[in-house]
């Protein structure tokens, strides 16, 4: 793993460029898929599912049956069920604290207020294949449930035998989701955005996916809301001499294994730690099985160790990178937390690795990537609600201010606005 002793500009530029890839070919394919789904509905879904997933939906129900869900649930042993339930409880407890109430300001003969209204229907996309993560089901569904969304539907690609990955179905059953469709890819995003004969149009689409899913979400934004357009995974660790190089290396690889475009950055004040971590990453990477090639590419092309002095310089660099995951692997992390202003999620100390947040602790693992934490936040309850303002004025109250409003409207050259208030008092 390369150690950078001086100018970090190239590394920063390379990180930013990961999300600026030329996707013209994929974009055109997605546009074609979305247009066909919008025009033909279920017929297009069956065509694309047969083409991409090798499954003929004409011979089986697009909607996952209750029996299929029950069979999948029974495939889990009691220990795994218990673990998923514990994780769900932690996620529910954390997100319950995010729920907001409206308010009302009583001003006598007038009042002002704000209503918090849950969305009527949300769509959750759950990937298939190697990225069929049950944790994604928990993290995307539970905040919507707490927000009070009336209807939550799920789309996920089928396996070649026409079934759905059993862990996805079992996790959905544990948290009470039973409207699940065997549709994946950009066509699933189109179905949830536009609606088909079988799949109802939703108000918001959330959930991870491949480049086609990400581009489809980006294109349908405006017809529906979306959570975010996620880029490659990233972790940045700020460490001092108190950090354990084995722990740091393991944490770097925990994100590097996601994707060849993932980024794993260590910022440290310790030359000794930098050298030890570099050696340890090379050693641990050899023990990876199915994700070894991902990790090797990510470490080689998008990662590095940055030496700084003092640690405040490292925090400044971290705020420029604005990482998805940020670990403060230092002796007293609380004294630095207030300096972190751009990060999706912050992990404190030597025993809070980011997989703790990915699966179990409670905060959401759907986090802003590619420096978007400078202006956006983790997925949460607010993502599934809307705010409406409420205004009530009595006749007497409006009479006391209407001339001010009339003058303001005329200042902007909007005569109809001015008349809208003045007309109520012309006789007087």
User: CA torsion, points 293, 215, 32, 184, in degrees to nearest 10?
Assistant: 70
pLDDT tens-digit map of 290-337:
899 999 999 999 999 999 999 999 999 999 999 999 999 999 999 999
Does residue 6 surpass a pLDDT of 70?
no
Instruction: Kindly state the tokens that stand for 279.
Output: 């050696």
Q: If pLDDT is split at 50, 70 and 90, which confidence band does 234 have?
A: very high
Cβ neighbour number for residue 178 with a 10 Å cutoff: 15
Q: What is the C-alpha to C-alpha distance for residues 95 and 379, in angstroms, rounded to an integer?
A: 10
Q: What are phi and psi of 320, to 5 degrees?
A: -70, -40
pLDDT tens-digit map of 171-215:
999 999 999 999 999 999 999 999 999 999 999 999 999 999 999
Does residue 5 surpass a pLDDT of 80?
no
Q: What are phi and psi of 374, to 5 degrees?
A: -70, -20
pTM of the model: 0.93
Residues with catalytic roles: 324-325
Mean per-residue pLDDT, 94-108: 97
Q: What are phi and psi of 204, to 5 degrees?
A: -150, 145
Q: If pLDDT is split at 50, 70 and 90, which confidence band does 20 have?
A: low
Q: Domains along the chain?
A: 3-19+231-362 (3.40.50.1980), 24-226 (3.40.50.1980), 398-425 (no CATH)
Does residue 61 surpass a pLDDT of 80?
yes
Does residue 161 surpass a pLDDT of 80?
yes
Which segments of 286-395 are extended strands (E)?
A: 304-307, 325-329, 345-348, 385-393
């Amino acid at each position: 793993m390369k150690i950078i002793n001086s100018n970090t500009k190239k590394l920063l530029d390379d990180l930013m460029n990961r999300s600026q890839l030329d996707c013209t070919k994929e974009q055109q394919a997605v546009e074609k898929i979305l247009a066909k789904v919008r025009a033909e509905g279920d017929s297009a879904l069956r065509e694309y599912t047969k083409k991409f997933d090798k499954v003929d939906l004409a011979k089986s129900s697009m909607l996952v049956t209750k029996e299929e869900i029950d069979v999948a649930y029974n495939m889990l042993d009691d220990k795994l069920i218990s673990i998923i339930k514990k994780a769900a409880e932690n996620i529910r407890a954390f997100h319950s604290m995010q729920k907001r109430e409206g308010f009302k300001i009583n001003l006598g003969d007038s009042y002002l207020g704000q209503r918090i209204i849950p969305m009527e229907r949300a769509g959750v996309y759950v990937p298939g294949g190697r990225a069929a993560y049950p944790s994604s089901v928990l993290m995307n569904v539970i905040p919507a449930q707490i927000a009070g969304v009336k209807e939550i539907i799920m789309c996920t690609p089928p396996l070649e035998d026409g079934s759905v990955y059993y862990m996805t179905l079992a996790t959905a059953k544990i948290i009470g989701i039973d409207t699940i469709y065997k549709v994946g890819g950009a066509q699933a995003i189109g179905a949830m955005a536009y609606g088909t004969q079988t799949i109802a149009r939703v108000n918001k689409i959330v959930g991870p996916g491949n480049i086609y899913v990400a581009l489809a979400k980006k294109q349908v934004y405006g017809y529906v809301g979306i959570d975010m357009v996620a880029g490659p995974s990233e972790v940045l660790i700020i460490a001092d001499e108190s950090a354990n190089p084995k722990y740091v290396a393991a944490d770097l690889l925990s994100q590097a294994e996601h994707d060849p475009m993932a980024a794993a950055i260590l910022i440290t004040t310790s030359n000794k730690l930098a050298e030890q971590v570099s050696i340890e990453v090379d050693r641990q990477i050899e023990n990876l099985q199915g994700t070894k090639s991902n990790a090797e590419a990510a470490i080689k092309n998008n990662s590095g160790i940055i030496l700084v002095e003092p640690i405040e310089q490292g925090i400044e660099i971290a705020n420029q990178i604005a990482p998805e995951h940020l670990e403060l692997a230092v002796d007293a992390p609380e004294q630095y937390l207030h300096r972190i202003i751009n990060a999706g999620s912050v992990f404190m100390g030597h025993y809070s690795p980011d997989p703790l947040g990915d699966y179990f602790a409670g905060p959401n693992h759907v986090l802003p990537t590619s420096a978007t934490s400078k202006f956006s936040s983790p997925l949460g309850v607010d993502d599934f609600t809307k705010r409406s303002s409420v205004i009530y004025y009595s006749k007497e109250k409006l009479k006391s201010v209407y001339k001010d409003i009339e003058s303001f409207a005329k200042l902007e050259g909007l005569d109809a606005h001015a008349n809208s208030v003045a007309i109520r008092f012309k006789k007087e």
